[in-house]
């Protein structure tokens, strides 16, 4: 394609997405170090232990993002099914060889590296669903096959994740897939029935597990069990309350000194609120808002249906997880164990979220070229006709031949 480069959603959306992503990654590195350094010195003798591991994950993730944004997303549709299949194998392996932490078994140890297959499952399910919606919309599969395949792919992954158990990730996965179906324009009555079924299933899962019911109780009144189920929520409130408008100062958090569990993972937003105050918290919120806006603009600007579903689905997944994390930390929903994308510590989450950003940027690059390439071909064909001059085009020659024949006759 010649001339000025064209991007789906415009260059502004593309660069806004890049800036917001790098802002959160850089800020996340800083806050992971701040939140973990004190505990790392005491427990491991190395205050930069988690920082170095997170920096390695960021380095790998940025390389993956650059590769993903350089590839035409339409030529690598196999990535979704491959990630899904690999995640199913990994989730099965977790049940046998998994590493436990905080009452759940969610990781596989591969030498010095731990991998969380459920992160792969979320992206795999979103990409597979987007591909199935595109196939259904194009008439390649009928409605019955579509719903059976979506239910099979998502249901199997969700069931294996619940066995860990990890209800927060399951809710995030199902919610992201539901948004893809909504973006894809699926029948609202069917989606309503799916939503009712999903909510009912989660309610039943909460009812049969006492520790999940305790989280609901702690959400309603954390002071009912201040040293048990309500402890994290109360300590997070202390952190935000101490931070005020501009925070106590970078690196000066008190809650990170063994008061707030999971300070560098699930509850890193509370440390941001304490050290950087309302200003820092709003900056994070605005950055995710920028990602949502840019991702939606790119999705709407794509000339390709699969590109719209891909960009819209991945954006929804990232933003939904961020909203769930911030809501849980601020007491607007029960604690779910969901980390904050691009900010919280976690190599699997970081690399795969940057993969998602790279794929959205790929839609930005190549999604605008579907129609543009056709227009360019038509213009080039017209230019060739003009350059022929008196010899005229092939069709003109045929018409002219017929006219001259009639005249001769």
| Model pLDDT for residues 316-369, shown as the tens digit of each residue | 999 999 999 999 999 898 888 889 999 999 888 999 999 999 999 999 999 876
The structure's pTM equals 0.85
* pLDDT one-digit tens code per residue, 56-71: 999 999 999 999 999 9
Q: 77 and 367 in contact (C-beta within 8 Å)?
A: no
Nearest to 268 by CA among 368, 185, 342, 351: 342
**Helix/strand/coil for 9:** coil
**Regarding beta strands 104-110 and 113-115, do their DSSP bridges make them parallel or antiparallel, or are they unpaired?**
antiparallel
For helices 117-137 and 79-97, give the axis angle rounded to 10 degrees.
Answer: 150
* Rounded CA separation 353/62 (Å): 10
Query: Which is more confident, 379 or 197?
Result: 197
Strand partners, 108: 115
Instruction: Give the mean pLDDT of the chain.
Output: 86
Q: How many CB atoms sit inside 10 A of residue 219's CB? A: 17
* pLDDT one-digit tens code per residue, 283-330: 999 999 999 999 999 999 998 889 999 999 999 999 999 999 999 999
**Helix/strand/coil for 184:** coil
Average confidence (pLDDT) over 62-88: 93
Beta strands (DSSP E) in 55-198 are: 99-101, 104-110, 113-115
Rg from Cα positions in the chain = 26
């Amino acid at each position: 394609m010649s001339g000025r480069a064209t991007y789906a959603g415009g260059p502004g959306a593309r660069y806004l997405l890049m800036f917001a992503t790098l802002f959160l990654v850089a800020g996340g590195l800083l806050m992971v170090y701040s939140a973990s350094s004190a505990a790392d010195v005491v427990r491991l003798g190395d205050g930069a232990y988690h920082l170095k591991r997170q920096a390695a994950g960021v380095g790998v993730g940025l390389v993956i993002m650059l590769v993903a944004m350089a590839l035409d997303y339409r030529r690598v549709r196999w990535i979704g099914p491959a990630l899904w299949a690999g995640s199913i194998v990994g989730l099965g392996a977790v049940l046998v060889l998994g590493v436990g932490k905080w009452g759940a078994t969610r990781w596989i140890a591969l030498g010095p590296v731990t991998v969380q297959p459920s992160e792969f499952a979320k992206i795999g399910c979103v990409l597979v669903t987007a591909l199935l919606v595109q196939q259904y919309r194009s008439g390649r599969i009928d409605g019955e096959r579509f719903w059976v395949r979506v239910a099979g792919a998502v249901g199997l992954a969700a069931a294996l994740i619940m066995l860990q158990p990890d209800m927060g990730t399951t809710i995030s996965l199902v919610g992201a897939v539901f948004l893809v179906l909504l973006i894809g324009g699926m029948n609202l009555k069917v989606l309503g029935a799916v939503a009712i079924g999903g909510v009912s299933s989660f309610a039943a899962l909460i009812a049969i597990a006492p520790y999940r019911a305790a989280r609901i109780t702690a959400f309603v009144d954390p002071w009912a069990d201040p040293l048990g189920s309500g402890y994290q929520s109360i300590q997070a409130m202390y952190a935000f309350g101490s931070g005020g408008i501009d925070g106590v100062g970078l690196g000066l958090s008190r809650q990170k000194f063994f008061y707030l569990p999971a300070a560098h993972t699930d509850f890193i937003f509370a440390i941001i609120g304490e050290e950087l105050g309302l200003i820092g918290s709003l900056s994070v919120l605005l950055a995710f808002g920028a990602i949502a806006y840019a991702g939606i603009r790119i999705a709407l600007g794509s000339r390709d249906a699969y590109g719209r579903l891909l960009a819209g689905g991945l954006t929804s997944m990232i933003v939904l997880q961020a909203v769930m994390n911030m809501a849980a930390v601020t007491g607007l929903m029960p604690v779910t164990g969901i980390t904050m994308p691009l900010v919280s510590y976690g190599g699997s989450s970081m690399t795969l979220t940057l993969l998602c950003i790279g794929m959205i940027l790929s839609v930005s690059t190549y999604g605008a070229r579907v129609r543009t390439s056709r227009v360019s071909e038509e213009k080039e064909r017209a230019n060739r006709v003009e350059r022929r001059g008196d010899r005229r085009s092939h069709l003109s020659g045929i018409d002219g031949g017929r006219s001259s024949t009639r005249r001769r006759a």
